[in-house]
Amino acid sequence: MKSLDELKAIRDKMKGQVDIREEGSDATRVVVGMATCGIAAGARPVLTAFSNAVQERDLKNVAVVQTGCIGLCMYEPIVEVYKADGEKTTYVKVKPEMVEEVIMGCVLQGALGQNVARQMSLDAGLPIEVPALTINKVCGSGL
């Protein structure tokens, strides 16, 4: 560390990581099981991947938290996504490379007003005139 500005930048970065763990009543919660069995199965990199993804996307109404034993050791790492309306989706045997799919398929569609297909098409460089359609694979009522 060479300057006060550098120290402030580190503080701001760490504050952002702490803020994603704070919960609000309208927040979508991503809960990662971090008991001994979960950690042994690889839950720590999964928690880090979720924290990083939420922070990179600047998702203010998403809280990434950890919990103890969920009770299903053979399925660890386990991630539960609680939407603001109370709906819960459970993912088992989660790997860090699966985090983006969970964020795009469940978290961003969880009452956050996101059009995932539009976001992805624009990120891919497609013109705004190209139509985009999101199909909710969590709920069969969209079919």
- Cα atoms in the 13 Å half-sphere on the side-chain side of 106: 20
Active site residue 139: yes
Q: How distant, in Å, are the alpha carbons of 29, 76, 90 from that of 23? A: 7, 24, 19
Q: What whole-number distance in Å separates Cα of residue 63 and Cα of residue 32? A: 11
| Choice among 37, 69, 73, 139 that is catalytic | 139
Q: Is 100 exposed, middle or buried (0-12, 13-18, 19+ CB in 10 A)?
A: exposed
Active-site annotation, residues = 139
